[in-house]
Amino acid sequence: MRKLYKLIPAFLLIFSLIYISADSLWNAKTAHSKKTVLPSNVTVFVHGYKGSAASFQSMLERFENTHHFGKKGLICRVTADGRVLFDETADFTAGGRLFVQVIFENNRANFEDTSYWLSKALYALHKTYKLEEVNLVGHSMGGIMSVKFLEEYTRKPGYPFINKLVVIGSPFSGLKDKSYLKRNVGAAATDLMPHSAALQKLFKQKHLFPSDVQVLAIAGAGDQLVSIDSALSLEKIVPPRQFQKAIVSDQSITHSGLHESEEVDQLIGRFLWPN
């Protein structure tokens, strides 16, 4: 009998271990079965020089609530040291369109750093959310960064396929307002100057631009910072069969006003989601 009492703690320990293992296995299986299903139609929005969360905020609200193009569900913040942080702002629903907003903590960095941070964001989107294909929409320098990403990163593994690209008022030949560049600081101001080495590099490596990305370049007649010629000079990089362009003729629509324009909304909507 004494030996039997001695064995009781051992039996209890074995039973506890079996119970804990079974419970853990059940919980792991249950958690694994809850998979986040993302929409297959995802568009990533990239702000420009000195941009912020406000840069695309109004446009995305119109896209969701007025035009019903889709839903903003994810913010991707990239810190100055290259960390990628996600903020899920809405539930993801299968079959709908999802909008993702990329925000750079250092919004005055040079082309090299900013395009690298964009690559980090897209890599993280692919790895974390299993996004296989996305569209890109970039305003001003954000459009330039999108092209630089396409030239320099898409042949490397780990990134989603870029289906379509929209650039809005992007100065591929530099900003026309030189006084603006003198008033503003940051490494990007140098890269945005006409004929800068950073801009020339985009044209020199145009052979690296993917042959399967459709592009729409939008220019504004009232854009006080970017000339029509500069915004449309992207056609010297993108092959003709992949390139479309549009000019917003309203003289009252400024550079920043392009992403507040209903006309621009419709141009983007028809290009990205024609059906």
3-class DSSP state of 163: strand
Q: What's domain 47-272's architecture?
A: 3-Layer(aba) Sandwich (3.40)
- Cβ pair 120, 86 in contact under 8 A: no
* 201: exposed, middle or buried (Cβ count in 10 Å: 0-12, 13-18, 19+): middle
- Cβ pair 180, 87 in contact under 8 A: no
How far, CA to CA in Å, does 255 sit from each of 21, 48, 58?
A: 61, 11, 15
* 211: exposed, middle or buried (Cβ count in 10 Å: 0-12, 13-18, 19+): exposed
Domain extents in the chain:
47-272
pLDDT for res 33? 28
pLDDT for res 169? 98
pLDDT tens column, 4-29: 444 444 444 444 443 333 333 323 23
- Cβ pair 242, 217 in contact under 8 A: no
Centre a 10 Å sphere on the Cβ of residue 204 and count the other Cβ atoms it contains: 12
Whole-number Å distance between alpha carbons of 254 and 275: 30
pLDDT for res 21? 38
pLDDT for res 12? 44
- Cβ pair 230, 174 in contact under 8 A: yes
pLDDT tens column, 208-241: 999 999 999 999 999 999 999 999 999 999 999 9
pLDDT for res 7? 46
- Cβ pair 231, 172 in contact under 8 A: yes
What pTM was computed for the model?
A: 0.86
Q: Which residues of the chain have pLDDT under 50?
A: 1-35
